[in-house]
Amino acid sequence: MNIEELKQAFADVYHRQAEKAFFAPGRVNLIGEHTDYNGGHVFPCALSFGTYLLVAPNDKGRLRFKSLNADETVELPLDGLSAPLEKGLWVNYPLGCIAQFVRQGFPLRQGYDLLFWGNVPAGAGLSSSAAIEVVTAFAFNDILAARCDKTRLAQIGQQSEHEFAGVNCGIMDQFASAYGKKDHAIYLDCGSLQFEYVPLRMDGIKLVVANTHSPHKLDSGAYNDRVAQCQLAVRQLRSVCPALQNLAELSARQFEQVKGAVNDPIALKRATHVVAECQRTVDAVGALKAGDIELFGQLMNQSHASLRDNYEVTGPYLDALAEEAWKVPGVLGSRMTGGGFGGCTVSLVREESVPVFIEKVGSAYKARTAIDPDFYVAEIGDGARAIEL
């Protein structure tokens, strides 16, 4: 839908004109998976897909939420913002963000009508929920004149995810949605929140996102388990490294020396992934800056293997897509992206090989899983912003 169609949809739903509009993108992470909540580096970029939010104040003293991607319309009194609604309801994402502003001393003095529409496929590991959170945070920052910077707005989205969706996520998705920059990836240190834009100068190489359409999704339980297993590893490592806060503080060499302190075998596997993935992310960005795309691709493949063997978040659908991609000439690297289980892979593919890649990987995946995957040549876009109406 374009902005004119969205304005019309707003008028159809609320019988009046929208006053403001905002957009926040989804993201694809190139490398650095399950490192963010361990204080490590990530390397995501914003997609040109995202979520739009049109808004106008109302005189009803109520918040009204409508998404063109969902059936239900939700209406709430202004004093009904402090707790999530029924688990799994999409409204919890924006609601959780608005609740953070209220909590920070920016009460709502009137009601608002909100219309959402997004074109990030839901449940695909491309941060459709972060896009909803970040677009809401940007909108209410403007409406309430809260003057939060982008980092704070990303944190508001993350907090909403923790408290209103029950997922103890890191900061990567919301940060990428807030700070995205066209044709750049964001090299973010999740420990310090310092970041650098790195141009994706990859002449003749495309970034292809492939959607497994897997029936298995990453649920909050499996994700929160991984977070807890990493925290357990940190606690056990403190017997030999008393000041340790995050797994990312350990180099691969240091970890080799102290890993015997982790006596929970699952926590040891998870920590093994995190420590190596942190190093791989630093190495991959170094390789990209040096123009060594081959090495970048190899590190992507190693990342997938470690997410499969040590972190156990890939599953048969993502493995099938990655394994089939690895067989195609012209593919420099391929790995799962995002939280895992279902969702998408991201592959670096030589431009002339893209049609063959889509044909070969698509048919082999279908033969293995009886599911048709979707392919999308990623366009790297800008981060969240207001849109002229």
Q: Which of 233, 232, 179 is nearest to 42 (CA)?
A: 179
CB of 170 to ligand GLA, least distance (A): 3
Distance CA 15, CA 21 (A): 17
Two structure tokens written together for 113? 């009508």
Q: CA angle, 279 as apex, 220 and 127 as ends, to 5°?
A: 30
Among 36, 113, 133, 319, binds ligand GLA (CB under 6 A): 36
Please, which residue, 34 or 335, has the CB nearer to ligand GLA? Answer: 34
Which x/- pattern over 279-318 shows residues binding ligand GLA (rule: CB under 6 A)? ----------------------------------------
**30 versus 321: smaller Cβ distance to ligand GLA:** 30
**CB 220 to ligand GLA: min, Å:** 10
Q: Is 44 near ligand GLA (CB under 6 A)?
A: no
* CA atoms within a 13 Å half-sphere pointing along the CA-CB vector of 93: 21
What is the amino acid identity at position 207?
Answer: L
* End-to-end Cα distance, the chain: 14
Footprint on residues 137-196 left by ligand GLA (CB under 6 A)? 169-170, 172-173
Q: Which one of 30-38, 54-62, 134-142, 344-352 is the stretch in contact with ligand GLA (CB under 6 A)?
A: 30-38
Give the binding range for ligand GLA (CB under 6 A) out of 3-11, 29-37, 103-111, 314-322: 29-37
Nearest approach in angstroms of CB 343 to ligand GLA is 9
Torsion angle of the four alpha carbons 359, 363, 365, 370, in this order, in degrees rounded to the nearest 10: 140
Query: Which residues does 106 contact at the CB level (< 8 Å), separation at least 6?
Result: 140, 144, 146
Task: Tell me whether residue 374 is one of the annotated catalytic residues.
Answer: no
Considering the candidates 36, 113, 173, 319, report the single residue annotated as catalytic.
173
Judge whether 209 and 229 are in contact, CB under 8 Å. Answer: no
Q: Which residues are catalytic?
A: 173
| Residues at the interface with ligand GLA (CB under 6 A) | 33-34, 36-37, 169-170, 172-173, 338-339
